[in-house]
Every structure is written in structure tokens, then in C-alpha cells.
Amino acid sequence: MNNNFPVDRLSGIETPFYYYNMDILNQTLDLVRKESAKYGYHVHYAVKANANERIMKTIKDYGFGADCVSGYEVQQAIDCGYPSSGIVYAGVGKADWEINLGLDNDIACFNVESIPELEIINELAGKKGKIANVALRINPNVNANTHHYITTGLEENKFGINHWDLENVLEVLSGLKNVKLEGIHFHIGSQITDLTSFHDLCIRVNELQEWFISHNVLPRIVNVGGGLGVDYQNPENAIPDFESYFKLFSEHLDLRPGQELHFELGRSLVCQCGSLMSKVLYVKKGVKVQFAILDAGMSDLIRPALYQAFHKIENLSSKGNVEKYDVVGPICESSDCFGKAVVLPETNRGDLIAVRSAGAYGEVMASQYNLRKLPKPYYSDQL
């Protein structure tokens, strides 16, 4: 699908800013709803990928729930109209006020990552005379084969409960009156493009389900997290293969009667609808390379600097002969670089640049480093 940037209208907006193509977002959400509904699966949108109000409300209108990792994300989901019955809340370090916020709003489930957390939720729920639904986040020890910063399912990660602790956890749970074990939860990592990792996860979940059943526990909910990747090299390939993704789980994950399968998808829903828009301030000739210096920097999109992530860069203004540029931002850090030896049509001051596939972990990770303004969002249907 072609993004069809409305270059004339975009050129009049003060840069840098985020531009969201709402057609791409809607088509993506349409497909996710269709493919997940085939199997009766439940999808929670992982708010951390993009907490922008317009994006969140659009996703909510498709009937998806929300997967939150902080009190303010829970609040944002509620403010955007997500029903509390569709809100799940994960995170290794939930503060007491955040747990209380979840309890006060009767959220669907706390995804719990340790025994001490289980005990605190029990205590706080008890003070309110409530019973909190919890899912145990279990470390499946499945390698997601992705960047080490976003691999989360291995034993040495800080996330989740290790399988050898489960016996202990069930014993502790049996003594806690204000928590109810509703589910088991997994998440192996993010930007996973090889579905084999999800196949491995299914096999592991099946084994763990057997273990629970042998201990007379049948969790009502199995939540397999998120992590489906997108095609950063080719943003025109805008919609991930949700058909194969959900089909894989339907073929390999054994659910017992009455069990529900839940997902927490972030990146795959919102990544390709967003671009960071910027203008070229200067073209500077170095000894061996020439730099295209943008007015957007790592404060607007930190992924290249933080994860050496690739984002396709396009010059929307020029049709000149191609040359190579190191595309950098204005921030006082050498890592403030969007791409090295990027092939672009001849680039000049004032050209409009799109840094593609920036709808996920883009705007939401922007900062005011160097006391810069936060980039504003604009939407294709409101220009």
C-alpha cells in the first residue's frame, strides 16, 4: 500500500512533527479484528507503543482492550473510553498508588511478575474489600531472536516468574484471600519477524498448561503478549501478516474448554501509519561523507540512537540524481543519527523528509532533551 503523502499540505506545517495516515491505521485494525475474530481471540492494544489520544480512541472503536504498564497508562486508557473490563496491567514495578488505581477502576487483570508483588496486591485489595484478578507472568525461556534490549522472555531477564518458582507461587496464592488466579501471561520480546519464535512459545505454553492442570489449576485466560514485528525496510508493506500469526496460535496452542486466548499487540497495530516529518536545515560536506542535517533529532525519535534501529528515510521534495548522505539531527550527541550512507535524491535546505515506520515507540518516547519542544501529531483526515 502506498502512503501517498500530501506533500503540499505537509510542507506548510512547522517541522518536526508526527504524521499519521489514518487509512493505514484503519485498514490494519480492520484486518486484526477480522483475523482474531475467526478464533474468538481477545486483543489488548499495548498502549506503550503509542499513547496518543486520537490513535488510542481509534483503536478502542474497534473493540480492542488495553494493555498498560503504568498507572498513567491505565488512566489514559480509561480517559480514552476503554472499558475497565478490557484493561490489563503489567510491569515489574507497580507502585502502591498504581495498584490502587487499578483496583478502584476494577480493571480486568493485574499481570503479576513476582511473589512480593502478589502479596502487596492482596494486601491493598484486602483494604478495599475487593478481590483482584491476577495473571502470573511466566518466563517461558523462549528466545525471540530480536535485539537484546527488547528480548524479554529469557531466564536472566528481570521480567516474569521462573518456572521453578511456580510451585512456591501456588502455595503462596493458596494463602491469599484477596487475589484470584485468572490467568497465565507470557511475552517473549518485540519486533519478532520469524514466526518460529511464536511456535516455540505455543509449545512451551502447552507444557506449562499441563503442569498447571497436574496441580489442579486451570487458568481461565492464557495471554501470550505481543511482539509481532513489522517491515521497517519496506514501509509500503504496511500491514503485517496477521492471518498467519493468529492461525499459528490456533494450530499449535492447545486451549481447554472455557479458556480464552488473549494478545497484547502494540507495534504491529500502529507502526506503519506514522512518520516523523522533518526539514533539512543544512547540507554539510565532510571529508568523506556529506551530512544532511535535519531539524528533527533523537529527542523526537530515539529508536536509531537507542537500538541502532533502521528507519527508512525519504526525501519527499526532490527528484534529483541520487547521492549518499549521513542523515543526522541537531542534538549534541554523536548518536543523534537517523541513518548512515542513506541514498537520497539530491538533497537541499528546506527539503521535506519522512522518517518512516515511526508510529510505534516514536512520539511516545520523545523527550525534551536539549530543551526542545515535543513534536506535535497531525492526522491525514484532518489536514
* Cβ atoms within 10 Å, residue 280: 23
Of 224, 220, 287, the residue nearest 257 (C-alpha): 220
* Interatomic CA distance for residues 69 and 48, integer angstroms: 7
User: Minimal distance in Å, beta carbon 270 to ligand LLP?
Assistant: 9
Binding site for ligand LLP (CB under 6 A): 46, 48-49, 67, 90, 150, 152, 187, 190-191, 225-228, 264-268, 303, 307, 361
* Min dist. Cβ of residue 189 to ligand LLP (A): 7
Q: Which set of grid coordinates corresponds to residue 337?
A: 543519527
User: Residue type at 371?
Assistant: L
Residues in the chain, overall count: 383
Nearer to ligand LLP, 13 or 150 (CB): 150
What is the phi-psi region of residue 159: left when phi exceeds 0, alpha when psi lies from -120 to 50, beta otherwise?
beta
Cβ closest to ligand LLP, residue 190 vs residue 347? 190
Query: Which amino acid type is present at position 208?
Result: L
- Name 100's Cβ contacts closer than 8 Å, sequence gap at least 6: 124, 128
Minimum CB distance to ligand LLP, residue 309 (Å): 6
> Looking at beta carbons only, is 10 or 222 nearer to ligand LLP?
222
Please tell me whether residue 74 adopts helix, strand or coil conformation. helix
- To ligand LLP, the closest distance from the beta carbon of 70 in angstroms equals 12
Nearer to ligand LLP, 325 or 338 (CB): 338
The secondary structure element, H or E, covering residue 14 is: none
Q: The C-alpha cell of 339 is what?
A: 541513518
Q: State the minimum distance, in angstroms, from the CB of residue 186 to ligand LLP.
A: 9
Nearer to ligand LLP by Cβ, of 183 and 227: the residue is 227
| Least gap, CB of 202 to ligand LLP (angstroms) | 17
Given the complex with ligand LLP, which of 187 and 312 has the nearer CB atom? Answer: 187
Where does residue 59 fall: left (phi above 0), alpha (psi -120 to 50 degrees), or beta otherwise?
Answer: alpha
Nearer to ligand LLP, 264 or 336 (CB): 264
**Number of neighbouring beta carbons within 10 Å of residue 383:** 12
Handedness of CA 98, 103, 109, 113 (dihedral sign): positive
- We find the least distance from the C-beta atom of residue 363 to ligand LLP, in angstroms, to be 12
